[in-house]
Chains A and B, each alone.
Chain A
Amino acid sequence: MNRRNLLIVLVALCALVNAACGGNSSSTLAIIITTAPTSMVVGSTANVAATVTDDPKNGGVTWNCTPTPFCDAASFNPGQTASGANSTFTAPSTVPPGSAQVTITATSVTDTSISSNSVNITIGVASNNFSFYVTGKEANDVGDTYSIAGVVTISADGSGNVLGGIEDYNDGDGITSPQPNGDSITGGSLALTDDGSGNGILTLMIPGNTKLGVNGVESFAVNFPNSSHALITQFDGTATSSGSLDLQTLTTIPSSGSFSFVASGAGVDGEPVADGGIFTITGSSIAGIVDVNDGGAFSRNTAFSGMLGIADTFGRGTVTNNSAFPVSLNYYVVAPEVIRIINVDKTDTAVGSAFGQGSNSNFSNDSIRQSVFSLENNPSGYAAAGQFSTSAGAAAIRSNSNAIVREIQPANEFNGVGDLNELDGAVLTAAPITGTYNLASNGYGTFNFDAGFGDVSTLGIYAVDPALNILDPNNPSAGGGGAVLAEMDGNLVGVGALLPQTDITVAHFAGFYAFGGQGQTFAGFKEFDFLGGASVSEANAALAGTGFLSDPFATLTAGVESQTATFTATASPDRANPGRYTLNPVAVASSASDFAPFDFTTVTAYQANGQQLFWLAVDPHTEFGGSLQQNPASVPPDAKKAKLKNQKR
């Protein structure tokens, strides 16, 4: 081989060696981000990783993020990783403007000219969804009964910003949220006072429907006895109402289970309406029995069936049915055993709740023992509350020096005491109540009152899961079980609740409480609502509260929406009826002189347990019904979940 040929061979050999050593491999090096979130909450962290192929030096990648100053290379720890290895990415502390996104990339260490695909990450704030409902009256000449149910998303960063939501509004008289989409909540705020009372104002902006609230802005007074539950009252002068706001823990409709429900509202002619019943969910099908009281014309034990639509991201869905009558219903899932239901027909309105019966529901008369109950109906203006024992467990034991004597009532009787205020009828305090009841295994039953408790005659009973707190579904520590009730006679139309009476210790009615009431006055049958937070002294049962009074009809005041209402009273135990208290009077005033002081002169409370009481005003000219619900953090140390000896759990 001559010298020239040798040179050619050497060049060729060098080329081959060069190729074998990857001298030209940077042209095939590739990087793909294989691990990255699509969305993150501000300040949170997540793993990111990238796979590098054809890297002759296995140099790995360096990470970067834009736009600055929201993020950069310093957002990654470590900032350089091997192929496939994780780096921890920290999201910006604030939401970037515009698209609210950041973009991350990985760049080769071996060849800095080569980078990965870009990955966009949406940055948001932590938030909670709260489901809410109210029922009350619009502040117009007619005083239409109306209903609202919805879900609101509230930022969890402490700002109280409302990030979105949806609601259904219906007054059955010209104002109904568009269907099937409802009204979108686009903003607003939850502003709590800084006095620890739990009081606050929730503002919802619904620009798409200026008929709601004040030109599309609804305001509600709230009081939170704990972080997942509030009493709520519309408070913007366009209407007044009462209801509940609860942390939403589920957004999908259960695919199975048995439920009990009640609802109330107004019919086509403005007459009061109450419904109750039970149903079972099987997949997307629903079937059960319903009782209806339409302005005193009632029907019971009517079978029904229907279909449940798929819930959206707010847990809102539709119920369709096979009825020959066009009735439109929407539901809002709150929790696995709590669903709010609202009628969105344009000619009538109602809202209510369905509560689970538990996984092994097998009810009987024995399921109802010593209990407290409440009943009310705003359109027709009455309220009732009381307590009773049943033959199932309320054995009265008397002992003397020689023997223990036990009185056992017949199998299905109840007797106790109650207070009732029918503005156009009976006004009774500590009235004896007696009657009979029955409860079937499916949780459906009836209370039949003997004559003597005004016009209260027959109640439908719809039993709930013994472990479910129907006043505050996210707080199982405060009691559980009972039933929802609906008046099923021609005299009265109302709904209510029955709770097991498990603790009548006077000293346990102490601590901090959310309280609320909805009522009317004799002169006008116009509604007022109030709520707030109160302390009850263990030493002398003194109640001192602050809160809100919603009186757009000027039925108690000159017509104010006061945020400075004060409520003071002393709860006196009724020695003849342990568990019953009188608060005569509950004095209401305004710390800012918004209105002239007045008294609810005769108020009675019934204690289910230290955390839950029903109360009502039994004034000759004013009635209200409502509840007191304790802040669990303020439960007295010795107040355990006591049970009377005869209480079945």
Chain B
Amino acid sequence: MKSRFPAFGLFVVLALCLFATPAHAQTAEGTPGSAVSPKYDITQEVTLAGTVSSVVKSTTPEMQMLGGSHLIVQTTSGKIDASLGGYAVKAVGALSVTPGQQVQVTGVMKTIRDQQVFVTRLVQVNGHVYKIRNEHGFVLAPEPRKGVTKPEAKGAQL
């Protein structure tokens, strides 16, 4: 996973610090012995291909669907509800999909509120790949964010 600079300061001086002595010998990532399973288990990811049946840009309480946007995709195994989170189809540079288009979605199928939801991390359409969530399942803002010049910044075509 690409190292991403954290938001808050972070007085981080990874290799340059000369002053502090670590208080605990913990690994940089991962807490040893965690008894809790990953919320988004990237090892369980699958990629499904299909035709977009409908696009739900924003759910309402009556829909009883996970908040945010959804693609209803007809696959060979049936219809899936691909959750795109709160930002995917909004703002400049966001994902643009219409019914009838062929898409590939990568994510993890989960049961949320007694419903099967495909928690989507990537959407590929028209030869472009849109990153919806990061590898831990957190929704990412659409691109481009003002002031961000990194080419790998979120939401851009990969």
Contact = CB atoms under 8 A, between A and B. Distances in A.
Interface in B21-43: 21-24, 26, 28-31, 33-40
Contacts of A298: 29
B86 A304 contact: no
Nearest to B69: A524
B121 to A, nearest CB: 12
B11 A272 contact: no
A395 to B, nearest CB: 25
A286 B7 contact: no
B140 interface: yes
Contacts of B140: 269-271, 295
Given A269-B141, A295-B136, A451 B35 contact: yes
B5 A524 contact: no
Interface in B53-100: 58-61, 63, 65-68, 85-87, 90-91
Contact of A301 (B22, B60, B147): B22
Nearest to A303: B20
Given A269-B140, A380-B138, A321 B13 contact: yes
A424 B112 contact: yes
B17 A304 contact: yes
Given A294-B6, A488-B31, A270 B145 contact: yes
Nearest to B42: A490
A304 B20 contact: yes
A11 to B, nearest CB: 89
Contacts of A319: 9, 11
B8 A343 contact: yes
Contacts of B18: 305
- Going nearest first, the 9 A-B pairs with the smallest beta carbon separation are A296-B136, A270-B141, A174-B146, A304-B11, A350-B8, A269-B154, A303-B20, A273-B7, A457-B36
Contacts of B9: 263, 275, 290, 319, 321, 327, 329, 341, 343, 350
B13 A322 contact: yes
A343 B23 CA distance: 26
B39 A297 contact: no
Interface range on chain A (Cβ under 8 Å from partner): 35 or more
Contacts of B13: 302-305, 321-324
Nearest to A425: B39
A268 B145 contact: yes
Looking at chain B's contact residues, is the secondary structure mostly helix, strand, loop, or mixed?
Answer: loop
Contacts of B60: 523
Contacts of B35: 448-451, 457
Given A142-B90, A296-B138, A522-B66, 18 more contacts: A142-B87, A142-B91, A173-B145, A265-B7, A275-B8, A295-B140, A298-B29, A299-B28, A301-B24, A303-B20, A327-B9, A346-B147, A347-B148, A424-B119, A457-B35, A489-B36, A521-B61, A525-B68
A352 B153 CA distance: 25
B129 interface: no
Interface residues of B, number: 68
B11 A296 contact: no
Contacts of B90: 141-142
A524 B58 contact: yes
Nearest to A453: B36
A458 B9 CA distance: 21
A624 to B, nearest CB: 15
A268 B20 contact: no
Contact of B67 (A297, A305, A423, A457): A423
A266 B112 CA distance: 25
A522 B136 CA distance: 20
B31 A295 contact: no
A514 interface: no
Interface of A: 141-144, 172-174, 263-273, 275, 279, 286-290, 292, 294-306, 319, 321-325, 327, 329, 341, 343, 345-350, 352, 380-381, 423-425, 440, 442, 444, 446, 448-451, 455-458, 488-493, 520-526, 620-621
A364 to B, nearest CB: 13
B139 interface: yes
A141 B87 CA distance: 8
A631 to B, nearest CB: 33
A180 to B, nearest CB: 16
A142 B141 contact: yes
B154 A289 contact: no
A447 to B, nearest CB: 10
Nearest to A321: B11
Contacts of A301: 22-24, 26
5 contacts: A290-B9, A297-B1, A381-B67, A458-B34, A489-B36
A570 B65 CA distance: 31
Nearest to A307: B11
A173 B141 contact: yes
Nearest to B28: A299
A385 to B, nearest CB: 18
B82 to A, nearest CB: 14
Nearest to A298: B29
Contacts of A424: 66-67, 112, 119
A345 B153 CA distance: 16
A492 B6 contact: no
Contacts of A275: 6-10
A426 to B, nearest CB: 9
A456 B18 CA distance: 34
A430 B34 CA distance: 22
Nearest to B24: A301
B38 A491 contact: yes
B117 to A, nearest CB: 8
Given A173-B145, A288-B11, A297-B1, A303 B17 contact: yes
A522 B67 contact: yes
B39 A490 contact: yes
Contacts of B65: 523
